């Protein structure tokens, strides 16, 4: 399967947008080579600003430029774009609804050898709780191009998370719309919902499950906020079991967001696949994915688990229905017996009155 890099897709699309709209400016933090904003900088040096290793200043300046009427793309590594500059994002961008697009690269653990200091696994949690923010995690380079174009037109603050590693292209033939999930594969037994690099892993898991005769639906949830609740609830109702998969801490990530929706609207067995509540470490991307359970095997195991729970719940529901039916029949029987007793009592009283009448004669 063809692989492409999301960062290259981002830089190339930025260049295209720069040619189309002179109001687009780009800010970086001394990492234009890594984030690929250098592609834009080569053609538009007067619209590219290197703020140095000062992410707080990067976000504050981005807010100022946005308030002055520019469409601003601010880009650096995800760990610095969120954790280091969070206060400035909250106060200067989210609170003011500034038209700033934070496109953060090197998200998750697939940063690899840079280790825990450069691997953020909490950014989705941080950004999705900020009022006024839209949060997007594209599944591949092709969708990244569509996302960058979409957010450039979208008013208000946006956080886009990109990975470092090359990723399989899996979204050909599918449109991207902010706030809408995409069904990549139909199925009726279980739903796998992935985001980012884990969408491809979900598709791999679906192939394995198909070998066991399990019809598997796969959803690409590229927009984490706002959630496409309609598609999520529909899938839960039609398949009865859900597994989520993300390259993010399982605490308060995409899976937790979906769990909240299902808790309120449709109770079904669910399992979250993601990074445990720990920091990352240095290693090759594939090794780290394996160590932290971000594999098709983990998703397959989770799918079997929720299906078993669904089957048990189905059995229990059948038992409950039989009990309810038996209770209704028993109630009817009691009512019938009570009716018979009332009739006997009525006849007894009638006979007693008849005897009294005969005795008077």
Query: For the ranges 217-231, 310-324, 332-346, which has the lowest average pLDDT?
Result: 332-346
Instruction: Indicate the DSSP class of residue 212.
Output: T
Residues 102-122 pLDDT 10s: 999 999 999 988 899 999 999
Q: How confident is the model at residue 189 (pLDDT cuts 50, 70, 90)?
A: very high
pTM for the whole thing?
Answer: 0.88
Model pLDDT, residue 360:
63
Question: For residue 343, is pLDDT > 90?
Answer: no
Q: Where are the domains of the chain?
A: 3-168, 182-313
Question: For residue 235, is pLDDT > 80?
Answer: yes
Residues 143-152 pLDDT 10s: 999 999 999 9
- Strands annotated E in 133-209: 134-136, 158-161, 166-168, 182-185, 190-194
Model pLDDT, residue 22:
97
Catalytic residue set: 55
Residue 109 region by backbone torsions, left for phi larger than 0, else alpha for psi between -120 and 50, else beta: alpha
How far apart are the C-alpha atoms of 285 and 110, rounded to whole Å? 5
Model pLDDT, residue 350:
73
25, 46 in Cβ contact below 8 A? no
**Fold (topology level) of 3-168:** Rossmann fold (3.40.50)
Contacting residues for 348 by C-beta, under 8 A, at least 6 apart: none
Same topology between domain 3-168 and domain 182-313: yes
How far apart are the C-alpha atoms of 15 and 142, rounded to whole Å? 16
Assigned CATH class of 182-313: alpha beta
Question: For residue 94, is pLDDT > 70?
Answer: yes
Torsion angle of the four alpha carbons 120, 126, 128, 130, in this order, in degrees rounded to the nearest 10: -150
Residues 125-159 pLDDT 10s: 999 999 999 999 999 999 999 999 999 999 999 99
């Amino acid at each position: 399967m063809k692989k492409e890099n999301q960062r290259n897709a981002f830089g190339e699309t930025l260049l295209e947008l720069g040619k189309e709209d002179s109001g687009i400016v780009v800010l970086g933090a001394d990492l234009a080579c890594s984030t690929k904003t250098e592609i834009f900088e080569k053609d538009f040096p007067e619209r590219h600003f290197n703020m140095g290793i000062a992410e707080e200043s990067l976000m504050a300046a981005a807010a100022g430029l946005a308030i002055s009427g520019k469409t601003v793309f601010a880009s650096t590594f995800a760990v610095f774009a969120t954790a280091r500059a969070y206060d400035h994002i909250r106060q200067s961008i989210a609170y003011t609804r500034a038209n700033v697009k934070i496109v953060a690269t090197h998200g998750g653990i697939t940063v690899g050898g840079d280790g825990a200091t450069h691997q953020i696994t909490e950014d989705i949690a941080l950004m999705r709780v900020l009022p006024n923010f839209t949060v997007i995690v594209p599944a591949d380079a092709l969708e990244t191009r569509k996302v960058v174009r979409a957010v450039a037109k979208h008013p208000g603050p946006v956080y886009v998370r990109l990975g470092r590693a090359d990723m399989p292209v899996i979204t050909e033939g599918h449109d991207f719309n902010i706030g809408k999930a995409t069904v990549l594969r139909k199925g009726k037994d279980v739903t796998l919902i992935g985001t980012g690099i884990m969408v491809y892993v979900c598709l791999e898991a679906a192939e394995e499950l198909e070998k066991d005769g399990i019809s598997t639906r796969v959803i690409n949830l590229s927009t984490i906020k706002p959630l496409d609740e309609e598609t999520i609830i529909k899938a839960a109702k039609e398949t009865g079991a859900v597994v989520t998969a993300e390259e993010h801490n399982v605490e308060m990530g995409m899976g937790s967001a979906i769990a909240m929706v299902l808790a309120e609207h449709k109770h079904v067995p669910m399992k979250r696949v993601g990074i445990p509540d720990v920091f990352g470490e240095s290693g090759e991307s594939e090794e780290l994915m394996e160590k932290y359970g971000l594999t098709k095997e983990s998703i397959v195991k989770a799918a079997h688990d929720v299906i078993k729970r669904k089957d048990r719940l189905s059995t229990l529901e059948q038992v409950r229905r039989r009990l309810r039916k038996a209770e209704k029949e028993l109630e009817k029987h009691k009512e019938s017996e009570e009716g018979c007793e009332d009739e006997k009592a009525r006849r007894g009283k009638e006979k007693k009155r008849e005897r009294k009448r005969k005795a008077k004669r």
